[in-house]
Amino acid sequence: MTDRRDLDQLVAPWGEDEVAALFRLAGTPPALAEDEVRPIRAAARESWRRQLHRRATRRRSMVVAATLAASLVIAGGLAWLGTGRGSAPPAAPVAALEVQAGEVTILPAGRVTEGSPELVSGAVLATGRDGRVALKLAAGASVRLDGESRVRLESARSFGLERGALYVDSRRIPGQHVEILTPLGTVTDLGTQFEVRLSAVADGRESELRVRVREGEVRVDTLRGTHRALAGSELVLASDGGTRRGAVAADDAGWQWAVLAAPAPVIEGRTLESFLDWVSRETGLPWLVVEPRLEGLPGATVLHGSVEGLTPQEALEVVLTGSGLRSERAGGELRISVAEAGGD
């Protein structure tokens, strides 16, 4: 057998010219038949196809890797924006939901904090026929929404009333006024309890704005001028510019929806006198002790327990019964007396 060194020695003396002469002497090789060429051609195409597939796969892998890297960069950036110096602070709540009864829709839904959803500017509240809502504003005022009403919270002291009625008790925020924006005018309180109702009349082609004042004073600004309404009065403004006035008592039946929507107070550790003052403010009825032996008792009696979920009238009955007392409505007053043994 000839090894590699023998072959090298055999070929080494030959130059390029000699090798070319050998090829010329060998002549042209015979052409291959089509049956012999066809499998060679198919094998070449298959090899070429596999090479293209491998190259495409490598490209896709590179694209996916680049996309994942970009996604990680974006996610990291968003995380930094959400927690770092570039993040926008969450919107501050402007009101907390205290009472919600019947059909009520709130958009967007509020954040729940200690059981009370908090609402931010731009939230829209709508009630069905039996719906009732009570809100506590960040500034401290109480705002209630009647059935079949719709309102938008513009800020902690501004509301857009689209239909229905709002009741406002702003006594707790002197110097900080609540304003109600309506298509017929802007109602601004001057430290008071009042109702604003926007209603459709004349088959819905016209509307009117009614303002009823239970305590204090309100101002109504329209394109035609400014109007004021005092406690015990009612002001009605029509869309055609007409106005009319009337009287309304603090205990009028028209306030009843707002009374039913009133949030119950915390009575634990509160005096009976303070509780009766709350009932009086909600019902519009001043309270009066009618028996000399009860003199000083309301201020000295400390309450315990809870009236959560009760209306002012229901809470009054529960508290007085527990204190051995009773109440009677007479002459526009709540008259407090000792409950007779075995009596009602």
H runs (alpha helix) in the chain: 4-11, 16-26, 34-83, 256-260, 272-283, 297-300, 312-322
Same domain (yes/no): 294, 318: yes
CB count in 10 Å sphere of residue 187: 27
Same domain (yes/no): 23, 112: no
Q: In terms of pTM, does the model score above 0.85?
A: no
Same domain (yes/no): 79, 100: no
Evaluate whether residue 7 is within a structural domain: no
108 upstream amide cis, omega within 30 of 0? yes
DSSP letter at 238 equals E
Tens digit of pLDDT for each residue in 298-322?
888 999 999 999 999 999 999 999 9
Query: What distance in Å separates the CA atoms of residue 229 and residue 219, rounded to the nearest whole number?
Result: 7
Separation in Å, CA 301 to CA 78, 235, 241, 264: 58, 41, 53, 19
Q: Pairing relation of β-strands 217-222 and 116-119?
A: unpaired
Question: Total domain count for the chain?
Answer: 3
Same domain (yes/no): 224, 133: yes
pLDDT at position 43 is 64
CB burial of 256-295 (b: ≥16 within 10 Å; e: otherwise) equals ebbbbbbebbebeebebeebbebbbbbbbbebebeeeeee
Q: CB–CB of 123/110 below 8 Å?
A: yes
Same domain (yes/no): 223, 106: yes
Last residue of a domain, one of 228, 256, 284: 256
Tens digit of pLDDT for each residue in 8-43?
444 444 455 554 554 455 555 555 566 665 666 666
Same domain (yes/no): 84, 209: no
Same domain (yes/no): 273, 250: no
The closest alpha carbon to 258, from 284, 240, 220, 219, belongs to: 284
Last residue of a domain, one of 41, 65, 89: 89
Same domain (yes/no): 330, 213: no
Query: What distance in Å separates the CA atoms of residue 315 and residue 276, rounded to the nearest whole number?
Result: 10
Same domain (yes/no): 110, 241: yes
State residue 70 phi and psi, 5-degree precision. Answer: -65, -40
Question: What proportion of the chain, given as a percentage, has pLDDT over 90?
Answer: 51
Last residue of a domain, one of 37, 63, 89: 89
pLDDT at position 76 is 40
Evaluate whether residue 218 is within a structural domain: yes
Q: Identify the domain containing residue 192 by its residue range.
A: 95-256
Same domain (yes/no): 106, 242: yes
Q: CB–CB of 185/179 below 8 Å?
A: no
Tens digit of pLDDT for each residue in 323-332?
889 999 998 9
Tens digit of pLDDT for each residue in 145-167?
999 999 999 998 899 999 999 99
Same domain (yes/no): 251, 290: no
State residue 229 phi and psi, 5-degree precision. Answer: -135, 135
Query: What distance in Å separates the CA atoms of residue 153 and residue 238, rounded to the nearest whole number?
Result: 24
